[in-house]
Amino acid sequence: MRTTGANSASGRPHPAVLTDFDDTAAVQNVAELLLKRFGAPDWMDVRQRFPGDGHIDLKEYQEITFRAIQADRATMQAYVKEHANLRPYFRELWGFCQTNDFPMAVVSQGLDFYIQALLDKEGLGRVPIYAVNPKVPKR
């Protein structure tokens, strides 16, 4: 996928649209939504070690907190589909990008499985996702 360069029809630069996910494309922080519902009781303690003191980075925080979840991915994906929402006009932005041949993708430190679930719910499963694929059991 070419993300920059001249548009052959107009000679103008060809933009790409990249968006974050939690609290950006999604109305809420979907990771926190899942942790509040399915997380271990101490997930907030782990969060206190991130990011300020430098003991753990975001990827490690996610792996620790999501590894402790007993729900399987299918259960979490169903919960996302029921309780999370994309921002108004996200679908229209995707349509605009498709119509105008602008590449668009979600680029996020969020976890791929819950991003995909919400995009699928909205009929936007074709939006490319570049996100964390955690080392967490799929159960």
Q: What is the pLDDT of residue 121?
A: 97
pLDDT for 47 = 81
Does the CA dihedral 127-106-91-37 come out positive or negative?
Answer: positive
Type and span of the H or E element at 63: helix 58-67
pTM as predicted: 0.84
Structure confidence at residue 52 (pLDDT)? 63
Give the CA angle between residues 52, 58, 60 to the nearest 5°: 110
- Round to whole Å and give the CA distance between 24 and 37: 21
Name the DSSP letter for residue 108. Answer: E
| pLDDT < 70 regions, the chain | 1-10, 51-54, 134-139
pLDDT confidence of residue 35: 95
Whole-number pLDDT of residue 81: 98
Tokens 């680029």 identify what position? Answer: 107
Pick the CATH number of 17-132 from 3.40.50.1000, 3.40.718.10, 3.40.190.10, 3.40.1350.10: 3.40.50.1000
Reduced to 3 states (helix: H, G, I; strand: E, B; else coil), residue 34 is helix
Helix pair angle (73-83, 112-121), 10° resolution: 50
Q: Cβ of 9: how many Cβ atoms within 10 Å?
A: 8
What are the extents of the domains in the chain? 17-132
